Structure 1
C-alpha cells in the first residue's frame, strides 16, 4: 500500500529546512568576526609588547644594580684596607729608591689620595676620550695597601744577608715584586731581589744598581739609605710577607661608546663595571691633635696633605656613583639613571 502524498504546506517546510541547512555566513557576519579577531589579536600583541618592555626594563635595572654592587664592593674592600698590613704595625719603612716618584709605591705621600674632577692624576691616567682614559670632570682615587692578601709567614730573617725564610716553598713570590714585610713592631716596603717559588722558601731583599731596586737591605724604621746596610732590623718569626697592592679607581671611556668604572694597577688596566657614568668622592677628616671629627665632608681639592703625618687624616670616604642602563628603557626613550651612595670607613689610620 503506497504512502499518501504530502500536503503542499508540508512540502514547503521541507524545502525551507533544506535551504536553511545549506546557507553560509553573510558579509556582515564575516566583517564582525574579522573585527573581533583583530581586537583580540591587537590585545594579545599589546600584552606581549608590554611584557617585553617590562622584561627589558627589569633586566636593565637588574644589571645596573649588579654593576653598582660590584663597584661598591670592590672599591670599598680596597679603600677600607688602605695603608694596612697583616701585623697591624703603624710604622712603615720604605727602602725603594724611587719611593717618591712612582705612584705605585709612594707610601710616604699618602696611602690614599683623591683627585677631584678638575685635578689631573699626573703619571697615573690621562684625561681624554680614548679607550681607558679618564672622563673629564669625574673623580679618581689612588689606594696603597699591604694587607689585601693572606700573606706568607716568616720563619726567620737574616738581616745581614737580607734573606727571609718562609714557612712554605709554595709562597708564589717572584723576583722584582714589591712586598710588605711586617711583625708586631714595624713594617717595611721592599723589592724582592731573588725568589724561587716551588723549590725554596727563601726570598731576598738585597740592594741593586737599578733605579727601581732597594736603596739598602736594612728594613728597620726609620728608613736609612746612606749605606747599603741601612737601618738593620731582623723581623720576628710569625710575621708576614705580603704583596703590595697599588690601584687607582676612576671612570673611563669603554670600547662601546659608553663609560665604565676602571681600576688601573702597575700591570694592567681593568674594566670593572659597565654603565658607571660618574663618580664623585668626598672625605671626612679627623683632627689628629684633638681627635675630633669634622662636621662636613670635603672634596679632594680641599685636602693639601694626604700623608700619614698630616695634622688632619682622612678616616672615611663617601662614594657617590651615577649609573645608567645599557638600553633606552626609560619612559622618555632614554637610558634610566640611578645615583647611589656608599660610605667606607678606613681601618688603618694613625692613632
Structure 2
C-alpha cells in the first residue's frame, strides 16, 4: 500500500488588469489641467486678436483721415493759372468764399456764432472745437477755354474738350493769366455747364462780366471743404463723434461722414517766423501759413475686452502737413 503525503501549495498571485480608482482620478486631473491650459491659451490668443484688430481699425481710421485732410490742405489755394486776382461772385457770406488769396483758414470753436464758419449742416451740427476750411481747384484735365470767349451777360463759355467733369450747379473757377472768376454754374449747355446766373445754392450775386479770355485760359471745379467734428450717424454707439467734411455738391450743402470714433481734433498753424499757434493767433494772416499740425484722438467703437466696465482703446496721432 502506497501512501501519499499532501503538502500545502503556495497561493498563486493574480496579475492586476486595468486601472485603479486612484490612477483613474489622477489621470482625469492631469487631463483637466492640460485642457485648462489649452483653453487658457486659446482665450488669450482670441483676446489678443480682438485687441489687435480693434487697434488696427483705429490706426486705419487715422490713416484715412490724415490722407484725406492732407490732400485738401496741400491743394489749398491751388489754381491752374497761378492768378491771385480772383473775382468771387458767389452769393452769401459763407466759408466757401475765396478771401484775401488765402486757400485755408481755421477756427478754434466751430460753434462760436462769431466765427465765419456758417453755414454748416445742422444734421449733424458741429461740436465745440477746432475746424479747418480749405479752398482750391480740383483736377484740371486740359480744360482750356476757347480763346476770345467772354462771359458777358451770363453767356455760356466754350471750351475744349467739352467733358470737363463739371455738372450743373457745381462751383467753378475760370481763369487765365490776368483774370479769374469763381461762380456757380447754373446750366449744362452743349456739354459745358458754364452759364452763371443768380439762382441755385449758394447762387451768384449776378451774371459774370469778364473780358475776353486768352489762349492760356482754364476752367476747373472750385472745391471748398470744411472739416469738423459732429455727432456720428445712425447705428453708432451713443455720444460717438465722427469726422465730417462739408462741401457743396450740385445744388445743396452736404456733409460726408469720413470716420467714426474721433473724440478730439486739435489744429495748430505755423507762419513765417513764429511757432505753431492756434487759429485765433493767426488772425487774418492766413496767406502766411506754411504748415498745419493736425492731432486726432480716436477710440474703438466697441469694447475689445468684452467686459462691462472696460474702457475702449484710445490712441492719439499727429502729423504736420505743409501747405504748397
- 1:223 — aligned with what? none
Bigger Cα displacement from structure 2, 332-341 vs 264-273: 332-341
* Counterpart check, 1:142 vs 2:120: no
Question: Offset of 1:54 from its aligned partner?
Answer: 0.8
The C-alpha deviation readout for 1:196-235, integer Å capped at 9, x for no partner, is: 3xxx2444435547882343422xxxxxxxxxxxxx3222
Q: Cα–Cα, structure 1 residues 9 and 249, in superposed 2: closer, same or farther, change >3 Å?
A: farther
Question: Offset of 1:126 from its aligned partner?
Answer: 7.3
What is the 5 A alignment of 1:150-299?
A: 150=141, 152-159=143-150, 160=152, 162-196=155-189, 200-208=190-198, 212-218=203-209, 232-255=210-233, 256=236, 257=238, 258-266=240-248, 267-286=253-272, 293-294=273-274, 296-299=275-278
Bigger Cα displacement from structure 2, 171-180 vs 142-151: 142-151
SS at match of 1:32: helix
Which of 28, 31, 53 aligns to 2:25? It is: 31
* Counterpart check, 1:327 vs 2:302: yes
- 1:124 — aligned with what? 119
Which of 268, 277, 280 aligns to 1:301? It is: 280
The C-alpha deviation readout for 1:104-149, integer Å capped at 9, x for no partner, is: 235348532211147625523479xxx633233x311112112455
Runs of 4 or more off by more than 6 Å in structure 1?
none
The C-alpha deviation readout for 1:272-305, integer Å capped at 9, x for no partner, is: 112211100001123xxxxxx21x1111122321
* 5+ long unaligned stretches in structure 1: 1-6, 219-231, 287-292
The C-alpha deviation readout for 1:166-188, integer Å capped at 9, x for no partner, is: 21233343333220112233422
Q: Cα–Cα, structure 1 residues 194 and 29, in superposed 2: closer, same or farther, change >3 Å?
A: same
Q: 2:138, 2:81 → 1: CA distance? A: 9
TM-score scaled by structure 2? 0.82
Aligned residue pairs total: 302
CA contact (8 A) 2:103 2:136 kept: yes
Which of 310, 316, 321 aligns to 1:344? It is: 321
Q: Cα–Cα, structure 1 residues 151 and 103, in superposed 2: closer, same or farther, change >3 Å?
A: farther
Q: 1:38, 1:73 → 2: CA distance? A: 52
* 5+ long unaligned stretches in structure 2: 1-6
